[in-house]
Amino acid sequence: MEMITSIVELVNKFLWDYALLILLLGTGIFYTFTLKFIQVRKFGVGMKKMFGGFSLHGKSSENGLSSFQALATAIAAQVGTGNIAGAATAIAAGGPGAIFWMWVSAFFGMATIYAEAVMAQHTRVKENGVIVGGPVYYIKYIFKGKFGKFLAGFFSVAIILALGFMGNMVQSNSIGSSFYNAFGVKPFHVGILVAIVAAFIFLGGIKRIARVTEKVVPLMALIYIIGCLVILFMNGSSVGTAFHDIFVAAFAPEAVLGGALGVTVQKAMRFGVARGLFSNEAGMGSAPNASASASVSHPAKQGMVQVLSVFIDTLLICSATAMMLLLSGVQGESGVLDGIPFVQKAISANVGNWGIHFITLSIFAFAFSSLIGNYYYAESNILFIKNNKKLLFIFRITCLLAVFFGAQADFSMMWNIADITMGCMATVNILVILVLGNTAMKVLKDYEKQKKEGKNPVFKAKDVGIENTECW
């Protein structure tokens, strides 16, 4: 077991200390400048489109999801353990400075996720009367023949392992550990309960998932943010100090922590970016699976809406968690006090024992929504590999077993394995969307041209020199 742990840690060190740190930030920077700071220029447009499509009544398109349902499904997967346990783990391992690097990765990630959504939209196809798309489709669009099939298949397997199994085990583990710490309920019993509830939603298919997420996601995010704001107001005089520690520790951890925990700038960057990715999934290739199904008249429209998912996930919810932790005065430490116990101890120090119940219920809501979103992505890729009812049934059962066993598994090992599988996904996805950079620019220029002409933009691929699209 020690050998396996060492190998996993070595692989993660290479992926997250070097390869993905460069790829993720580099891609975000590339698209930020290529698209002329799209995350800033079109932020207001995205907000209007999101609230314009806001619905709690399950209204969707005939062949896919509404724009808001696609966004809600993406946020459901994004807003989960990473927003609470992930932020806590980042601070415990990388110090307060890790939060700064989470913000940096999120800002540039907003441009990346815009590009992902556009790629997914313009390469989507109709299968059995239903609109589908995502990385596997734009991989095959770019790379023809056997290599394209192999790479798409590799990505499908990676996302199934990363989200359908490991990702959902992490979410279930967070629910199990939080309920045990708060109420003394054994993880075994929690695992059974979560698996039963998940089974009801999973077996209802994509439409049921969309209907659940569009109702649950807005409500849970609002309640959590309000709760965190209450804590911030209670500690108003210390908020400035917390921000100071974040910015100083990002570049000089010893100035805040004194070097006692061995935190370095590299550690702050590594854990900030890694946990930021786990939380907002920008560049990972998961959100495009939902973006592709959105019913919009122009790919750029869903791209602008999708930008908000990263903003809500990291810059709002993760930041709220981070401030709550830093204001508590409780010192986290990797392997000693991190993850859910760190959060629960911190909120207890802030507001007393009732806060533990609030955070436990928040963890349940967030983690369970991620279970739903992760399953949606994994199922989409199972169907890409082979649209077979028996295979889908077997997958659903194994997914539910992963949820059950995840509630009782080792916390640190699961995070490490989840990092590896997500790293594989992200590496493939990033390299492909970089190849499609010119397409993202063409789509945006077409949208802006039509807006200047006073039109409601409608995309026609051939008008902008894009060939071989099935739905445009």
- Segment 322-339, tens digit of pLDDT: 888 888 878 777 766 767
Cα-only R_g, the chain: 21
* The model scores a pTM over 0.75: yes
pLDDT value of position 41 = 92
Pairing of strands 130-132, 125-127: antiparallel
Q: Which residue has the tokens 């791209």?
A: 303
Structure tokens at 233: 């107001």
**Range scoring the smallest mean pLDDT among 3-12, 436-445, 446-455:** 3-12
Could you tell me if 404 and 172 are in contact, meaning their C-beta atoms sit under 8 angstroms apart? Answer: yes
- Whether the pLDDT of residue 110 is over 90: the answer is yes
Strand partners, 125: 132
pLDDT in tens, 231-253: 878 877 788 888 888 888 888 77
Nearest C-alpha neighbor of 299 from the set 34, 119, 60: 119
* Cβ count within 10 A of residue 114: 29
Backbone torsion region of residue 258, taken as left when φ is above 0, otherwise alpha when ψ lies between -120 and 50, otherwise beta: left
Whole-number Å distance between alpha carbons of 343 and 347: 6
Domains with residue ranges and CATH for the chain: 2-464 (1.20.1740)
- 205 pLDDT band, cuts 50/70/90, is low
Q: What percent of the chain has pLDDT over 70?
A: 86
Longest dimension (CA), the chain: 64
What 3-state DSSP class applies to 94? helix
Report the residue count for the chain: 472
Whole-number Å distance between alpha carbons of 410 and 219: 31
Mean pLDDT for all residues in the chain: 81
pLDDT in tens, 335-393: 667 677 888 888 888 777 777 888 888 878 878 878 887 888 888 888 888 888 888 88
Q: Which residue has the tokens 């992505």?
A: 377
pLDDT value of position 52 = 63
pLDDT value of position 5 = 74
Whole-number Å distance between alpha carbons of 178 and 184: 9
- 58 pLDDT band, cuts 50/70/90, is very low
Whole-number Å distance between alpha carbons of 245 and 204: 47
Could you tell me if 190 and 184 are in contact, meaning their C-beta atoms sit under 8 angstroms apart? Answer: no
Higher per-residue pLDDT: 74 or 34: 34
* Cβ count within 10 A of residue 410: 12
Whole-number Å distance between alpha carbons of 197 and 69: 21
**Amino acid letter for position 472:** W
Dihedral sign (CA 460, 462, 465, 471): positive
**Amino acid letter for position 150:** F
Show the DSSP H helices in 260-410 as ranges.
Answer: 265-280, 288-291, 299-310, 319-328, 339-351, 354-385, 389-406
